A and B are shown apart, each in its own frame.
Chain A
């Protein structure tokens, strides 16, 4: 049989013509087209980039990086917004703008850490439970998930954070503990449906490993909703983190956090309005941005057929 050389030649011909491997540039262009069709997602991307930039370069951007540590300057206290203090100063004379930027940093860091722990755990459990649908593995995982889902999320986070020492780490643990079950639920539904599809059956019949089936056959089909939810959740984690720090269960003073700044400022409303309004607007800004961005990601990954 002289079949092989023909196939080889054919393959080389295609390689030369550049028919193989579609260019990465082309893919990127299509993704950008889908993402940017909605102008709001471009705005969201813009806000997300600004927040990331501010978070990373916080010490460079702000003029008073020392204001996030132990710092008191009563002469400059309670100043309304001005050219040197964009958002005004608080009762200790610290620059609100600086503290807001540093809060961005803490909030984003918290989101990234919480999601990078909660998402893999939730997705993995959801995949396993969905694939072993109807067995005892499914029952154990999903009932455990239900226990977490049955409790109101904020109450659960409050309880966990209150039991632990009040600081950023324990608030992160608390939020992580309440966050993974949502991903388990999300992936469980999809994995259950997908494991009945013929391509999964076929992989089983061919003799592929469970690992291959879970991660190469089922998982790629779940990624688009997972990424979309992640982009949206960055904002929500920030909000929950702010709620925790509002009641004093987050980052401890003098390190700034949104919730703590709002609760501090609330005592001086409405006279020193800038102490509360600017951190609150900053939260609204970042959550709005991540929501728009999440919508854009959804449009981008949606396989419009």
Chain B
């Protein structure tokens, strides 16, 4: 199972903010990102708010048009001139949004919400839609009579379960989870995460899991990529990532995870004090974009932009410190 299901190559998504005579100003939300996801992986995408995690997801889905780059899904480049995705892509790739409140139409009941993907992709004949919905609701451990409930009368966790159920309707291969738990109660978060892991096993899915919760990432993902200002800093298998973090930014993030006991504190690889704020993506600092907050920055960091260095088989770091 080493087949790449998704390959993103040098993806750039800019947003125009204003245009003056001599110069156009862009928000460089995603600025040259490359990564690949193998079949069956849970790829975690971590970063601070505004680092471009969701923009990557939305660009893959076709909600934004990239300026440059390639997105290859199942061996096919899906970026075309008018940025429309094919029906088979729409069937195979689903997304679960962060806010379950706004991702379900309040004027439809759960049955109507779930029957849309079934009808659009003709998964089952019309007469069998209700049965299929009951089956899918069972997959996310909701009772069958849930299908006549309105999204206004169910709780946040249940709404997110319905969103996940909707994503499962078309038998997708790849699901993008855009911070699926960050607006939920902690107790429900655990339930949703376990559900997602169970579905990953049973349905042979591949996830792109976007979050800013590093401890959560450690427990579920197989590979982690960390983003800073629209660029990827470090990509590594989860174990390597938490054991031997290489990029100063990763070290900083890992040491800023709040812990409650001394043993946990001892588990942290290195103590780095987190300073400063993420700079504006409009005026990206020259050289390495992280040099304004980096403890180890040298002259080269301020002038020259680092490139991705491969330090071990699956471990990539974009930092001058690891230049060979």
- Residues of chain A touching chain B, judged by Cβ–Cβ distance below 8 Å, are 3-4, 6-8, 10-11, 13-14, 19-22, 197-199, 201-203, 205-209, 212, 216-217, 220-221, 223, 303, 305
Contacts and interface: CB of A to CB of B under 8 A. Distances in A.
Given A7-B138, A199-B102, A205-B62, A221 B143 contact: no
B130 A11 contact: yes
Interface of B: 61-63, 87, 90-91, 94-95, 97, 99, 102-108, 112, 116-117, 120-121, 130-131, 134-135, 138, 143-145, 147-148, 152, 166, 170
Given A21-B148, A220-B107, A203 B116 contact: yes
Nearest to B93: A205
A11 B144 contact: yes
B105 A199 contact: yes
Nearest to A303: B152
Q: 10 closest Cβ contacts across the A-B interface?
A: A220-B107, A207-B90, A198-B103, A7-B135, A19-B145, A7-B134, A14-B145, A10-B144, A199-B105, A198-B102
Contacts of A208: 116, 120
Nearest to A17: B145
Contact of B63 (A4, A14, A205): A205
B127 to A, nearest CB: 13
Contacts of B131: 4, 7-8, 11
Contacts of A303: 106, 152
B138 A3 contact: yes
A185 B134 CA distance: 41
Given A10-B144, A217-B105, A223-B107, 11 more contacts: A3-B135, A10-B134, A11-B134, A14-B145, A198-B102, A199-B104, A199-B105, A206-B90, A206-B170, A217-B108, A221-B106
A142 to B, nearest CB: 23
A220 B108 contact: yes
A92 to B, nearest CB: 55
Contacts of B87: 207
Contacts, number: 86
A207 B95 CA distance: 12
A22 B170 CA distance: 28
B121 A207 contact: yes
B103 A202 contact: yes
A198 B108 CA distance: 14
B63 A201 contact: yes
Nearest to B151: A199
Contacts of B63: 201, 205
B71 to A, nearest CB: 15
A6 B105 contact: no
Contacts of B152: 303, 305
Nearest to B149: A22
A6 B139 CA distance: 11
Given A14-B145, A198-B102, A207-B90, A4 B135 contact: yes
A223 to B, nearest CB: 8
B69 to A, nearest CB: 20
B134 A8 contact: yes
B110 to A, nearest CB: 12
Contacts of A197: 102-103
A20 to B, nearest CB: 5
A220 B145 contact: no
A16 to B, nearest CB: 11
Nearest to B113: A199
Contact of A205 (B95, B108, B135, B143): B95
Given A8-B131, A11-B131, A207-B120, A22 B148 contact: yes
A216 B91 CA distance: 20
Contacts of B130: 11
**Most central of B102, B121, B170 by chain A CB within 10 Å:** B102
15 contacts: A3-B138, A11-B130, A197-B102, A199-B104, A202-B95, A202-B166, A205-B90, A206-B90, A206-B116, A206-B166, A206-B170, A216-B108, A220-B105, A221-B107, A223-B107
Contacts of B108: 216-217, 220
Nearest to B148: A20
A203 B143 CA distance: 24
A199 B117 contact: no
A88 to B, nearest CB: 51
B116 A14 contact: no
Given A21-B148, A202-B166, A207 B103 contact: no
A20 B145 CA distance: 6
B102 A14 contact: no
A14 B144 contact: yes
B138 A6 contact: yes
Contacts of A221: 105-107
Contact of A198 (B91, B97, B107, B134): B97
A6 B141 CA distance: 13
A44 B102 CA distance: 36
Contacts of B116: 203, 206, 208, 212
A172 B278 CA distance: 62
A3 B147 CA distance: 18
A10 B138 contact: yes
B235 to A, nearest CB: 26
B135 to A, nearest CB: 4
A30 to B, nearest CB: 12
Nearest to A223: B107
A9 to B, nearest CB: 9
A48 B187 CA distance: 53
B194 to A, nearest CB: 19
A199 B95 CA distance: 11
Contacts of B94: 205-206
Nearest to B112: A216
A216 B112 CA distance: 10
